[in-house]
Amino acid sequence: MQRGIAHPSLSEATREFVRRAHGLLIDGKWSEAQSGRTLDVEDPGTAELLTRVAAGEAADIDRAVQAARQAFDGGPWRRVKPAERARLLWKLADLMHDHADELAQLESLDNGKPVVFARAVDVLSSVEMVRYFAGWTTKFGGETVDVSVPGEWHAYTTREPIGVVGQIVPWNYPLGMAVWKIAPALAAGCTIVLKPAEQTPLTALRLGELVLEAGIPPGVVNVVTGYGETAGAALAAHPQVDKIAFTGSTEVGKLVVQAALGNMKRVSLELGGKSPVIVFPDTDVAKAAPALARAAFFNTGQVCSAGTRLYVHERIYDELVEQVYTEVAGWRIGYGLDADTKMGPLISAEQHARVTGFLEAARADGATVLGGAPSDATRGHFITPAVLKDTLPTMSVVREEIFGPVLCAMSFRDSEIERLAAIANDTNYGLAASIRTRDLSVAHKLARRIKAGSVGVNVHSVPDPALPFGGFRQSGWGRERGREALELYTEVKSVAINLD
């Protein structure tokens, strides 16, 4: 038996779920892929086979889209009142909360992340996200508009659900990313075809079961597991899908945009990042170091908003960088289900090779690499956190998103303070940024000048459901979370009535 499944901490419910046959959720029923094909799901902490799930393809996507179409156009969902949608979302949140341990264990097995963080961060913040959007269902709509054209008018706008939504999510926060998408879409009254990442389909499948148990009608949420190039591409291109919401790499985001052009479906994108963190000399080094370590290395650095370009004033550079490295060097790296693990493996052998490749290139270019020791990837895709010094702005390790535990630490002088915004903005991305200082004027000025969807001051990122999240430039289109997420799932209609 695989080591993951044999782990003593696993509950019987989790074991039973992993061993079960995993079909596709279409129209409230579970079925195999039409081709009968499956895909292997690996445990990244052991590199062993964990389970198999159905490998949905274009024909399965089509079945799911038809079910979602029927539930939206002719089925019950359009008639469900906002307050009832709120109750269904609350019920779903309660069920997720009741199953928090099981969901956390599944996430840890599937993704490798520490189970304690999976529970506290992935699962419980997903519960809060569902509750937050449950609240919006009854508080979101159009407005009356005073028009100035001659005559007497009653004019108003409505916000209508956009229709059938395709949602494609990545493997770094499998449950969290699925919930960021399905919660606002359901609150707005849309129906959904969700395509989880092929590496991490398990919590989305369990979520599909909970959706049915909550009483959300058949066809409203459909889950099709499968590869990106087949199932994902078919969903992005499907002519009866009204909107596609995608989280993943910028490269694939561009393919999604092209695929969506056929029927000009609406598109929202949450893509990559290479987020700057700027630390001024009035910073309390001992307090900042653990926070900066978390900003870069949490979730093994597989976070789109990770603070991976660290710019520190030269007066505190050596002391701060040493403390950040000492902090992460003390983290226990290990199997996600072990209770004392602070950092798990990378998701796959491919990602392991990618991260080690970046580190080799950086060494060859003359950077100093502290840490960054890879394990034998055939026994789990581990690597120790890497802090890089002596990097140049032109190096690939500074320019490209690595999506691994790699932090580039650079220093700046007083004479460069005026240029800091330009330095921070010297990237194709614009997802997040943060500033550490006690000087309000410096913080506000930089917050204005930095081109990023989220800017933190004395914090890197605040994952609150009410705060919009998304990117400038090649980090994406649109904002998830907050009221802005609901807007992504609605169309505005203007109605003008001539009263004369």
Residues labelled as active-site residues: 270, 304
Nearest distance from C-beta of residue 294 to ligand NAD, angstroms: 17
Residues 281-320, one symbol each (x = binds ligand NAD by CB under 6 A, - = not), give -----------------------x----------------
User: Which of 229, 284 has the CB closer to ligand NAD?
Assistant: 229
For residues 108 and 283, which CB has a smaller minimum distance to ligand NAD in the complex? 108
Q: Which is nearer to ligand NAD, 348 or 458 (CB)?
A: 348
Q: Total number of residues binding ligand NAD (CB under 6 A)?
A: 29
- Piece in contact with ligand NAD (CB under 6 A), picked from 70-78, 163-171, 337-345, 379-387: 163-171
The radius of gyration of the chain from alpha carbons, rounded to an integer in Å, stands at 23
Q: Are 310 and 391 in contact (CB under 8 A)?
A: no
Minimum CB separation from ligand NAD for residue 195, in Å? 6
Q: Which two tokens stand for residue 323?
A: 């403390």
As measured in angstroms, the least distance from the Cβ of 285 to ligand NAD is 29
Candidate ranges 141-149, 221-229, 322-330, 362-370; the one touching ligand NAD (CB under 6 A) = 221-229
User: For 491, phi and psi rounded to 5 degrees?
Assistant: -110, 145
Residue 412 as a binder of ligand NAD (CB under 6 A): the answer is no
469-498: contacts with ligand NAD (CB under 6 A): 476
Smallest separation (angstroms) from ligand NAD to the CB of 56: 11
From the list 195-203, 206-214, 374-382, 389-397, the region that binds ligand NAD by CB under 6 A is 195-203
When asked if residue 429 is in the footprint of ligand NAD (CB under 6 A), the reply is no
Distance separating alpha carbons of residues 265 and 271, to the nearest angstrom: 18
- Tell me how far, at minimum, the Cβ of 177 lies from ligand NAD, in Å: 6
Closest by alpha carbon to 387, among 323, 332, 344? 323
* Binding positions for ligand NAD, 225-284, rule CB under 6 A: 227-229, 232-233, 236, 247-249, 252, 255-256, 270-273
Q: Which is nearer to ligand NAD, 338 or 484 (CB)?
A: 484
The residue of the chain with the least Cβ separation from ligand NAD equals 228
Closest to ligand NAD by CB, 284 vs 350, is 350
Distances (CA, A) of 438 to 281, 410, 448: 9, 20, 17
Neighbours of 262 (CB within 10 A): 11
Q: Which amino acid is at 288?
A: A
Residues contacting 217, CB < 8 A, separation 6+: 28, 71, 75, 76, 77, 80
Lookup: tokens for 238: 């499907």
Residue 401 sits in the site that holds ligand NAD (CB under 6 A): yes
Site for ligand NAD in 24-63 (CB under 6 A): none
- To ligand NAD, the closest distance from the beta carbon of 493 in angstroms equals 29
- How far, CA to CA in Å, does 305 sit from each of 392, 409, 471? 21, 16, 9
Closest CA to 233 of 207, 253, 219, 250: 253
What CA–CA distances, in Å, run from 142 to 81, 433, 486, 491? 16, 33, 12, 10
Report the 10 Å Cβ neighbour count for 441: 8
Strand pairing report for 490-498 and 153-161: antiparallel
Helices (H) and strands (E) in the chain, counts: 17, 20
> With respect to ligand NAD, which residue has the nearer C-beta, 171 or 311?
171
> What CA–CA distance (Å, rounded) separates 295 from 163?
37
Closer by beta carbon to ligand NAD, 91 or else 195: 195
Among 102, 198, 242, 487, binds ligand NAD (CB under 6 A): 198
Residue 376 carries which side chain, given as an amino acid letter?
D
Contacts with ligand NAD in 341-400 (CB under 6 A)? none
CB 13 → ligand NAD: shortest distance, Å? 26
Separation in Å, CA 419 to CA 7, 342, 396, 424: 52, 36, 21, 9
DSSP string, 365-413: TT-EEEE--B--TBTB--B--EEEES--TTSHHHHS---SSEEEEEEE-
Q: How far is the CB of 368 from ligand NAD (least distance, A)?
A: 26
The pattern of x and - marking residues 168 through 187 that bind ligand NAD according to CB under 6 A reads: xxxxx---------------
Positions that interact with ligand NAD (CB under 6 A)? 168-172, 195, 197-198, 227-229, 232-233, 236, 247-249, 252, 255-256, 270-273, 304, 401, 403, 431, 476
